[in-house]
Structure 1
Amino acid sequence: MALFIFLLLSTFPDSIFSTATNIAITSPTQSITLTSFEKLPLPSTATSPESLAFNLLGEGPYTGVSDGRILKYIRLTKSFVDFAYTSPNRTRAFCDGTTSLDKSPTCGLPLGLDFDYFTGQLYCCDPFVGLTRVGAFGGLATTLVPTKDGVPYRFLIAVTKTSDGPVYFTDASAVYGPKDADKSIQTGDSTARLLKYDPRTKNVTVLLSQLAGAVGLATDSDASFLLVSEFIAKRILRYWLKGEKAGTSEIFLTFPGGPNKIKRNQEGNYWVAVNAPKNDSTVAPQGVKFSPSGEILAMVDLSKEYNSRITIVIEYNNKIYVGGRNFPFVGQYDIKYV
């Protein structure tokens, strides 16, 4: 899994935490059976579908890969095609198929994706390019918040767009970059931030700082709060955007392993990818489904098909899709509620 970096701007406020009771994982209230599994292969030697998204029409999944491309899955042909790219310096000859982070400053590295369903635009976090936006027809992304010229972010990794305008994103560390992901975990790094971009003023505001590996982000259906996963701290925070608690945060869920990206499904509940530790120093990848109130609805074991960390689980039309670093495919499971 890739992890993060950033430089603090002295005018940004510190984190504001409210007192809250930990909501720990309890027994699931739903039972889900995985009825089949299919690999949706990436083109050529592309790997690492770390984030997944569907557009308003249900097309996709869309995913960013290690060589800087954003791909779109076409169901009719059962294949991924090029959709967009984040770096203006990217060339096919230099970048296509690469898995080298040494090339990422030129090729780009799209790690977080989320659609604005009102406009059809796709928002993307790229640690080497910045916060970007792609039009409905793809192509070169527009850079909204660059990684240089006054806003030198190191590892932008998660993004969510709300219907009322703001874009929220995370910068996952002030110390470690993509090449040093393991070091950030080993040292317990806690220099990540939650940020807000206002498209009208083009201003960026820090909402929370001193986070431990903020790699996942989602909002509720009416944008009253944000959920932020802290991979290193093994928990999800809830940050209130509206109401009497606005501007405060609280611990929402805790996990035995690191939670990664969070995605809301069509019914308004959430899925998060969790990598639970095993006794033999490996991980047991799981998909955990939970409600907006923090009730654990279902847990699915994905270790049969995945033997290392996953980054995302997303549910769409009675299927769940799974992505992760170094995998050359997106996993697709048919599911049945029993």
Structure 2
Amino acid sequence: MVSFRDSFIASEQNCVEFAGIVETTPFPRRGEKEGREGEEIGRKMRSGIIVSAAALAFFSIFLTLNPDIGPPRSSSTGAAAAAGTTFGGRARDVLHGAELLHLNGTTGPESLAFDAEGRGPYTGVADGRILRWGGAARGWEDFATVSPYWNRERCDLKGEVMGDEEVCGRPLGLQFHEATGDLYVADAYFGLLVVGEGGGAATQLAVETDGEPFRFTNHLDIDQVNHTIYFTDSSSRFSRRQFAMLVASGDNSGRLMSYDPKTKEVKVLLKGLKFANGVALSRDRSFILVTESSGCRVTRLWLKGPNAGKTDVFAHLPGYPDNVKRNSAGEFWVALHGRKGPLSVVLQYDSWLKRAILKLPLNFQRLHKMFMSKRSQAMAIKLSEDGEVLDVLEDREGKSLRFISEVDEFNGDLWVGSVIMPYAGLYKL
């Protein structure tokens, strides 16, 4: 088996850290010295303005010529072949054979969960609802809503990828508590919630800790023995709607937290995470994994044993990881949302350019397109309990699956979610 640390030593160049970005104020304050220093400041300002103007012009043309996210284009033979080289040829291009379970009038089945009786999957979608798959004959059925303000007319997406999320909610992470049958939900705007067995309106459990509100609650997992809920807040500064700024700024204010259902206490377990995203507890409950999307890595926090309280890098990845999910064998499936696009790398070196791009009047689809690699593909990576690569499944040309957010292995099948696409995928192993 191939170690991630060996396999991806070169891939870190494709997902460069943003920690070194130095922000400069657009209009530096003048001191008392007016001579050469003032002229130098003026020169830099003029250069920055020229660069920004050029960037605006260039990317206006770029966006005009490049449509929104839509049906995938076939990649060249060379590009498709190159996709398999990251893992030394081990990756299998098979996910294009997945069955697509289309949603009706909505999009973005981000996370997937099955209840104790095997019903499901359940998934949260972009209009604030939680749906349940009732089989081919019944399709997707309403199960719950996360917002007390939800109503069908206001929350209808009307063809958009992102609707009125701040009002309607955006349920992202889902997980069932096996003993109670309750469904716990991480919603980007309404924090940590729970839905009873019968569905309906969710009950809000937590929206802040130590006086600091959650800004972007994202994913969760549950310790089925001691009932602790582990969940992420992707950023303490940016909301989900500001995801582009979150990535481009190099923000590292993400947190991993725990919630005790008995005491209602929220604890911060980890700070300083770069776009904290997916969460998965190990089978023996000795450690927990959290994906850092901007950092292109999976971080491990030890909960028990001689390393308790310590962290290490569990896996380096060749792109942006979304959720991580453990299967019944104790292995982990990581969904790779996409590879880093050229613009993401350029922005870290030029703060003027970064500000110019982020001020453009862009919708969600165009912002997403700018930060992602041009090739829309799906990649699901299975890791052992030690972080070794066990399997890599792809849809290299994005024929069926693209921009995947979660891979859930259940009863021998892979159920695949996406935060953007209007369907979930079912691939039979």
For the aligned pair, the TM-score class normalised by the smaller chain equals 0.7 to 0.9
Partner of 2:427: 333
State the Cα distance separating 1:283 from its structure 2 match. 4.6
State the Cα distance separating 1:70 from its structure 2 match. 0.3
Would you say 1:80 and 2:140 are equivalent positions?
Answer: yes
State the Cα distance separating 1:29 from its structure 2 match. 8.0
Would you say 1:155 and 2:216 are equivalent positions?
Answer: yes
- Does the Cα contact within 8 Å between 2:171 and 2:186 map onto a contact in 1? yes
CA distance in structure 1 between the aligned counterparts of 2:161 and 2:335, rounded to whole angstroms: 25
Partner of 1:289: 382
The 10-residue stretch of structure 1 (168-177 or 313-322) with the greater mean CA deviation from structure 2: 313-322
Greater gyration radius: 2
- Does the Cα contact within 8 Å between 2:156 and 2:163 map onto a contact in 1? no
- Does the Cα contact within 8 Å between 2:107 and 2:161 map onto a contact in 1? no
State the Cα distance separating 1:175 from its structure 2 match. 2.0
Partner of 1:246: 308
Q: Secondary structure at the match of 1:184?
A: helix
Would you say 1:93 and 2:186 are equivalent positions?
Answer: no
CA distance in structure 1 between the aligned counterparts of 2:327 and 2:93, rounded to whole angstroms: 15
Cα deviation per residue 1:259-285 (whole Å; 9 max; x = unaligned)?
110011122211111123478643532
CA distance in structure 2 between the aligned counterparts of 1:30 and 1:180, rounded to whole angstroms: 33
CA distance in structure 2 between the aligned counterparts of 1:236 and 1:310, rounded to whole angstroms: 17
Given the alignment, which residue of 235, 258, 273 partners 1:173?
Answer: 235
- Does the Cα contact within 8 Å between 2:126 and 2:163 map onto a contact in 1? no
List gaps (5 residues or longer) in structure 1.
Answer: 1-20
Q: Percent identity?
A: 38
What is the aligned residue count? 314
Change (3 A) 1:333 1:102: closer
Change (3 A) 1:30 1:109: closer
Would you say 1:204 and 2:266 are equivalent positions?
Answer: yes
Q: Which amino acid aligns with 2:131?
A: L
* TM-score, structure 2 as length reference: 0.68
List gaps (5 residues or longer) in structure 2.
Answer: 9-86, 343-372
RMSD: 2.5
Partner of 2:126: 66
Given the alignment, which residue of 391, 415, 424 partners 1:321?
Answer: 415
Alignment of 1:1-338 (within 5 A): 22=5, 24=7, 34=95, 36-43=97-104, 45-75=105-135, 77-97=137-157, 99=160, 101=162, 103-146=164-207, 150-163=211-224, 164-274=226-336, 275-277=338-340, 281-303=374-396, 304-305=398-399, 308-335=402-429
- Does the Cα contact within 8 Å between 2:98 and 2:401 map onto a contact in 1? no
The 10-residue stretch of structure 1 (226-235 or 117-126) with the greater mean CA deviation from structure 2: 117-126
Partner of 2:59: none
CA distance in structure 2 between the aligned counterparts of 1:320 and 1:60, rounded to whole angstroms: 13
Greater strand share, structure number: 1
- Does the Cα contact within 8 Å between 2:395 and 2:402 map onto a contact in 1? no
Partner of 2:49: none
Change (3 A) 1:240 1:103: same
